[in-house]
Structure 1
């Protein structure tokens, strides 16, 4: 049972009526009563009275967040003081486990706040985030740099071999101890103060980077007044552009933005090369316009500060610091993988350019292809080679049907079922909520989806949780998991039709979600997707494989108008085209991954000219002009406003495990129950409770073979 803590706020209330003057006493009593009322109305201060403990979104007001965060910080301070001042000798229970059980209130409010700021951002939320960021940084440093606390942790760690701990407890102990060391617990006082300053600066700059990018993305619009300039665009895209125009005050016109659901279709289908160039330039120059939202200086300063922090902590570079905790272990190992793939992917990309140029020339083009031509001409070549384009496949990938295909796959593999619940709280009308049941009929969690693009939502797609699964308080606390995507919203009641890539993304993000839902661990910090950055994408990438299997496609890929199941010949074409354009896809991704590593293997604190640094890096790689990196520095939010710094390579590292795992299901059957159970037990439900490679080898019987990844992408001949 966790100790009851008298927080500073409660203490202030208790002392409010102790002044001697009557008028002051009355005034203080009124203030105290107001404070009590505020506390009483703050949903974060009591158990949620909602089904499944879902946050009561309709009751949460903007004024509730900051006080709850500050109170949460105060509670943690009191909890840490109680651990430090415990007269008993340090034990796993009174030190390591006591720390793990701390911070319930802060966990509760931040899960909600940072979950919503990604999809429901507002100036008010951004202001709270900016104000609280240095406070959270300071709190983290106060814990990590507290020598008395560290000495208790170290005392437990030093006796680990004599303790009777299970596997998960051993993992928690090791991660806790190493976390303190990596955070600077062994530094002298002067270096600790330096580290505090660096952490606060990095935290504030990261928030500013994200704000700037959101403003840049929302700020641009390509307004089209002449209908002839819409030539080549599908009707659904034109309708969406008209709806966007109306929403932005341009009635009777069409608006395209740098949001991906608008950007990608325009570059793929528009016959207007000049407009394609204009939109491509806007997309690839977000944060690089020498205005109030420019991110060049922020990227450079963050790289410098991260290097300085790594030096203080005793690491050669920021990448060496980060990767010590990843499966790659060192930047050299990460580069080793990328260097194996880069030459083959670049060679293939050059051949793809030649194919597109030949096609363009045959159509009378009198220009050399540029980066803004790639999507348009690759789609033309794909249609020529495979008689396949998005206009043929999209009618079979209606959003709701595709979601049912995801559920069908999960049911066939693990017996889980999803029941739609319209009676549960949700934070936006676009959210759809499901209760999830295991194969024995027991309820295991809540799953929410938020599919449609809106200006308050950051770009991309992701999974997270309002609450993780854990058992550390004696009962199995069920997870509340959500997926956020950015699909075009329905227009005029028409169904949402997905591109093949968008449908794959739905399967991908669900791969993260099912890991959170099937989690079965004891400690909150080790469950779900609490994994190294270069392993966490593995379960989501595996999930994509099932989508292209005929048995799965036949279940959900039905024409949205006729109900016709996707024809077998179309399935064959989809599978045959699986390696098409992989040179481009791999090269543009790897260019970003290598750019990330280049920023974070800098061995100098000197500020860089971000544009020059990036251009020099890409030139050194030999990246061709027809390809831009998937993320340029100024909008590379994964590494400058997210948790992927030095780790963007992790997607392809995870792909090794994904391709190797799929070999099991190819050999035994895509719904083989022995393989599905082994994968569930050793990968999905175990989360970060043990070393990932140990768990993987338990499932596979050996380490993964990288050759399957290269074969899948068509970068080497198949071995069998």
Structure 2
């Protein structure tokens, strides 16, 4: 590697534990010169490929592109990892500068006429090249990528597209920073039993830790971290405080001033619409859906509306039940969004005779991590072992080795589990390094995947165990499912490695993995009381399993309304008043006043903090159709760890990345494409008569 061209070689020469970066040797001020040098190296590599006097071949063009930019990938993965999980003002300032600079760089590559000519030549004669299926997919990905980057546009249009992409990159960076800014700046300090009434010990401990982190020497702090705000809304008996906290949570990105996101949303939608038109698409949704399983906005909306009607009916039934509890208490207020979680928890206690507080002592973070690893070993034969004393990017981050059945090193995994003010909200998986088998210019062949999970669980008080909610436990399994997609990857080319699949397929491995949390033998082994070590009583376990579809109407309405608004934005084009469009969509579908979108427009980071899930938030549900059907394959064998199905799952889903068309790889695993009925049944939204005679 040409690390001598970089100010700090540690940015690219990763010589830590089994090739892990030496995070402790990289300083914030190293990134700006590091990016400049790495961009220059990549530019030179691209020019060498484009100006190669030899006839284009798959090796001298496509393979060369696949391995170019290694330094830039390394600097980028370190920087964006820190920007998301442990940021500060210096990193944020650089992020606003780097995002448009990177956009300019990749626009220039995408519009390199000589380079595209080589790719286009190979594309036109692809049937004569004797390519493997994976190589055909890689070539197709590069060719379509260049076309979508404007390679076929006239010069003036190319320049306008580059300008649009640069502006969008800057807007996306600012959007995410604004949401984090609102989350960091708001808190509600509580003291005295009257203000703490109803709050269980685990939540008080988390709120005390949050207060200490924010410089308070005493008291308890409600913050907008989901791991604190949601349980606070669930357990607090103080309706006035619930309303205050909820309104702050719902208003992120819409508070006026420097962190207000509405102007960013308006400009983003306008630029995306213009970009789609430049590239010959009817709208931005058509542009984004072009290379997905869904393919069209009509197909997406058809699924969403089918689910919406059932979810809304179910949610209204749930609301009526909550209203009954309010009336029983002698109160006469309507069910409002800050009431729902509180009364839903009371209803769950009454219906299933258990509460979140009763369940939580059995869901220790350490044990759920062990459960995650055990499921992976039972299904895929891998062993995950923690390595102590290896520095990561924050003291809370833990490092693990992932080894195959024969003991060989398969991957490195980093787990970053606790919320902090320097971390954006939510949970995600990402990679520092993706698996592939190509020879590199440093003499190595292939690379070991280095994958990390980021979560935002409440950090416990010193000496106490971290206790999770059932949703937290599902989140941990979900993100480790993504991690497995990266770690079990077994492809040749980096661009189709691991999660390099279509957006509406990428959630399948993660959502599917969640199912194993609820397998009785896993809960029986790992859901043990943090004080006594005794397993969860069978009576409680049975209640937990029976309650899996409780509150499904609420959860599905929260999600589906967000997905429908996302699709409306990106099929309409430029929007003058985003909040008016949001209201129009919600009014038209009959959004209950007691529920809000899971992600309202001003803090909808999936869609506006970059365009990863723009016109793509639906993909969680699309993948849910797949995952419900996929787990049914195990249920049909009578063994959640059936070795034949597990082998098919690994070979056709988790290891092939994007090297095979997702429809084909799913059919190779399951023998058919799924019907939405399995997903509706899993959610408790399907009617018995609708299921009779179906394949689900």
**TM-score where L is the length of structure 1:** 0.93
> Among residues 469, 482, 487, which one is paired with 1:512 in the alignment?
482
In structure 2, distance between residues paired with 1:558 and 1:243: 24
Query: Alpha-carbon deviation of 1:253?
Result: 2.3
Query: Alpha-carbon deviation of 1:84?
Result: 1.7
> Among residues 635, 650, 655, which one is paired with 2:624 in the alignment?
655
1:258 has 2:228 as partner: no
Unaligned runs of 5+ in 2: none
> Among residues 566, 572, 597, which one is paired with 1:602 in the alignment?
572
**TM-score where L is the length of structure 2:** 0.96
Query: Alpha-carbon deviation of 1:41?
Result: 4.0
Give the greater-gyration-radius structure (CA).
1
Corresponding residue number in structure 1 for 2:504: 534
Corresponding residue number in structure 2 for 1:162: 128
Corresponding residue number in structure 2 for 1:183: 149
Mapping of 1:488-499 within 5 angstroms? Answer: 488-499=458-469
Query: What does the per-residue CA deviation read over 1:639-695, in whole Å, with 9 as the maximum and x for residues that have no partner?
Result: 000411000000000001100001111011101000000000000010111111111
1:273 has 2:239 as partner: yes
Corresponding residue number in structure 2 for 1:363: 329
1:582 has 2:552 as partner: yes
Query: Alpha-carbon deviation of 1:492?
Result: 3.1
CA contact (8 A) 1:42 1:64 kept: no
Query: Alpha-carbon deviation of 1:476?
Result: 3.7
1:618 has 2:586 as partner: yes
> Among residues 673, 680, 704, which one is paired with 2:674 in the alignment?
704
Query: Alpha-carbon deviation of 1:612?
Result: 1.9
Corresponding residue number in structure 1 for 2:613: 644
Query: Alpha-carbon deviation of 1:411?
Result: 1.0
1:402 has 2:371 as partner: no
Corresponding residue number in structure 1 for 2:449: 479
1:56 has 2:48 as partner: no
Corresponding residue SS for 1:471: strand
CA contact (8 A) 1:531 1:688 kept: yes
Corresponding residue number in structure 2 for 1:43: 10
1:503 has 2:473 as partner: yes
Query: Alpha-carbon deviation of 1:475?
Result: 2.7
Query: Alpha-carbon deviation of 1:40?
Result: 6.1
1:565 has 2:535 as partner: yes
> Among residues 289, 305, 310, which one is paired with 2:276 in the alignment?
310
In structure 2, distance between residues paired with 1:63 and 1:290: 32
CA contact (8 A) 1:42 1:60 kept: no
Corresponding residue SS for 1:465: strand
Corresponding residue number in structure 2 for 1:35: none
Aligned length: 684
Mapping of 1:330-345 within 5 angstroms? Answer: 330-345=296-311
In structure 2, distance between residues paired with 1:42 and 1:417: 32
In structure 1, distance between residues paired with 2:314 and 2:91: 45
Query: Alpha-carbon deviation of 1:250?
Result: 3.3
Corresponding residue SS for 1:451: strand
1:439 has 2:405 as partner: yes
Of 486-495 and 238-247, the range deviating more from structure 2: 238-247
1:714 has 2:684 as partner: yes
Query: What does the per-residue CA deviation read over 1:582-607, in whole Å, with 9 as the maximum and x for residues that have no partner?
Result: 0000010001111111111113x3x4
> Among residues 88, 91, 95, which one is paired with 2:54 in the alignment?
88
Distance change (3 Å), C-alpha of 1:572 and 1:376: same
Unaligned runs of 5+ in 1: 11-38
Corresponding residue number in structure 2 for 1:121: 87
In structure 2, distance between residues paired with 1:104 and 1:333: 38
Corresponding residue number in structure 2 for 1:33: none
CA contact (8 A) 2:209 2:460 kept: no
> Among residues 351, 370, 387, which one is paired with 1:385 in the alignment?
351
Query: What does the per-residue CA deviation read over 1:158-216, in whole Å, with 9 as the maximum and x for residues that have no partner?
Result: 11011111111111001111111111111111111111111111111111111111100
CA contact (8 A) 2:253 2:603 kept: yes
In structure 1, distance between residues paired with 2:250 and 2:422: 21
Query: What does the per-residue CA deviation read over 1:326-345, in whole Å, with 9 as the maximum and x for residues that have no partner?
Result: 11111111101111111000
In structure 2, distance between residues paired with 1:247 and 1:157: 56
1:150 has 2:116 as partner: yes
Corresponding residue SS for 1:292: helix
Corresponding residue number in structure 2 for 1:630: 598
Query: What does the per-residue CA deviation read over 1:478-516, in whole Å, with 9 as the maximum and x for residues that have no partner?
Result: 111111100111203111111111111111111001111
Corresponding residue number in structure 1 for 2:653: 683
In structure 1, distance between residues paired with 2:26 and 2:321: 56
Query: Alpha-carbon deviation of 1:225?
Result: 3.4
In structure 2, distance between residues paired with 1:556 and 1:520: 30
In structure 2, distance between residues paired with 1:432 and 1:162: 49
Corresponding residue number in structure 2 for 1:14: none
CA contact (8 A) 1:297 1:610 kept: no
Distance change (3 Å), C-alpha of 1:40 and 1:618: closer
> Among residues 629, 633, 657, which one is paired with 1:664 in the alignment?
633
CA contact (8 A) 1:216 1:293 kept: yes
Corresponding residue number in structure 2 for 1:320: 286
Corresponding residue number in structure 1 for 2:205: 239
In structure 1, distance between residues paired with 2:116 and 2:192: 67
- Provide the aligned C-alpha RMSD in A: 1.4
Corresponding residue SS for 1:444: strand
Of 474-483 and 680-689, the range deviating more from structure 2: 474-483
Of 157-166 and 432-441, the range deviating more from structure 2: 432-441
In structure 2, distance between residues paired with 1:400 and 1:250: 28
In structure 1, distance between residues paired with 2:57 and 2:28: 41
In structure 1, distance between residues paired with 2:487 and 2:214: 38
In structure 1, distance between residues paired with 2:81 and 2:413: 14
Query: Alpha-carbon deviation of 1:708?
Result: 0.3
1:449 has 2:415 as partner: yes
Corresponding residue SS for 2:462: coil
Query: Alpha-carbon deviation of 1:251?
Result: 2.8
